[in-house]
Amino acid sequence: MNGRVIADRYELSTVIGQGGMGQVWTGYDGRLDRRVAVKLLRPDRMAAATAAEEMRRRFVRECRVTAQVTHPGLVTVHDAGSDGDDLYLVMQYVEGADLADHLAEHDPYPWPWAVGVAAQLCAVLAAVHAVPIVHRDLKPRNVMVKPDGTVTVLDLGVASVIDTDTTRLTHTGSPIGSPAYMAPEQAMGGAVGPYTDLYALGVLLHELLSGNVPFAGSTALGVLHRHLYEPPLPVRQLRPEIPEALEALVLRLLAKDPQHRPSGAQEVYEALAPLLPARGAPAGPLDPTRPFLRPYAPWPERAAAPAPAQVPATAPDADRPDVAAAVDEVKRLLGEGSITQAVDILGGILPAAAAEHGEHSPVVRILRKQYATTLMDDGQYRRALPELRRLADDRAAEAGPGDPQTLQFRYEAALCLEQLGEAAAALAEYRAVLPYYDSARPAGTEPGRAFDIRQRIGHLLLALGDHTAAYQQLQGLLYDAELAYGPYHPLAAELRRALDRQQRMRGL
């Protein structure tokens, strides 16, 4: 027994997992008298001291975004915050065995079981990617198989807090994730997206079917190099009884180029569905085929936005919401950190404001801008994107394509596309706005936005498999960053590490 109590509520009991970034404990929620799992992370072990406070803030934000996803295949997040030097995440305690142990106990792993695990993971990933969230570290140790055969995914959202490419909270120059399950674009430090998780799913499925990951080695760098340049061994060469369709799917998931992988988790599920067992008796507990008739299929495409929330209606006309009162309520909620509630009120008040003041009125423009900004703060990039595009088009029609506000809207739209995993579209948008930032910058001013866009272009080129162009892009940026800031600036140091990593992996 540990005896430590977190946040005056959660009593730690026994360590059930440990790594360089923290520990996982069993514990008890003293308020609700239930068993929980508590993950403790140490920001000072994951980032430079100057980034630790930013990481704390981002950790709570990412946990809030993660809590938006509800799915039976995801561990439920109960609470998150900081306690002393630790960040803590309180989760549902899941009974069962992790998938790595489950695989070790069943050799060879029945291929219908592998299909059952993968199909359930597709349902989880489809829900996660719709938010959008990228897991970034899908592997057997992050998957639990419960006694009823259902699969639960752990650690959603945590990897995104400590990742180096999109969130930029650490400057270690090393990709976050487990090398054996890491997609080529992630290994090279490129932008990640749903396609990155699909590659990890392919590695996991290959391991279940063959008993080993497709790429192993004595060093992490050697493993990453094999991900980049070696073809995987087809699983039927090891187990001829595996269906050809299943082998073909694994090879598609393990494609080096993300554009050659399946389009999404829904497509992978549809390929697995014919291989799932028909109705019958399960083999026993911990049988991953048990849940299937089709109840764990991914949800079909849902509407981009939920129904608008109710907004204050205190105006003389009771049927017309009071825009001013709603704006005051939004300010109050944002001040309290209740971003999701503020988003719903803004989404509900916009139609009323447009009817009262006109679609192109300053009031509606301000509300729409606040709505888009708040959606992005809440991680709802899919909903923010059309609002930003509308704002950009309206502003460009009035002030021209080079107007600073037009460019800001387009830049934020590109950020949304990047977060949604639409790498080619994001790359095109960044390239379209970059010349304006390069040409319009007054002499002697900071080139920060142009440099940021150029770095993102490099990461997206890596994600699209164009390693040569990405290297040239980042190398040119390094030259200009050293001229502008000096060789010891954090950006220059980060770029040198990234270029060195790419060169070492390509040169092995």
Q: Which residues are the active-site residues?
A: 137
Reduced to 3 states (helix: H, G, I; strand: E, B; else coil), residue 73 is coil
* Half-sphere exposure for 336 (CA within 13 Å, toward CB): 10
The token pair at 395 is 């502003």
In this structure, the number of other CB atoms found within 10 A of the CB of residue 54 comes to 15
How many whole angstroms separate alpha carbon 147 and alpha carbon 139? 20
Q: Are 197 and 270 in contact (CB under 8 A)?
A: no
Closest by CA to 127, choosing from 302, 347, 283, is 302
Closest by CA to 181, choosing from 221, 147, 137, 126, is 137
Show the 3-state SS of 350-404. HHHHHHHHCCCCHHHHHHHHHHHHHHHHCCCHHHHHHHHHHHHHHHHHHHCCCCH
Q: Are 399 and 380 in contact (CB under 8 A)?
A: no
498-444-496 Cα angle (round to 5): 10
Is-cis flag, bond preceding 147, omega within 30?
no
Q: Are 208 and 114 in contact (CB under 8 A)?
A: yes
Reduced to 3 states (helix: H, G, I; strand: E, B; else coil), residue 203 is helix
How many whole angstroms separate alpha carbon 265 and alpha carbon 126? 5
Phi, psi of 9 (to 5 degrees): -145, -40
CA distances (Å), 411 to each of 286, 405, 456, 495, in order?
A: 48, 10, 11, 22
Alpha helix segments (H runs only) across 258-338:
265-272, 323-336
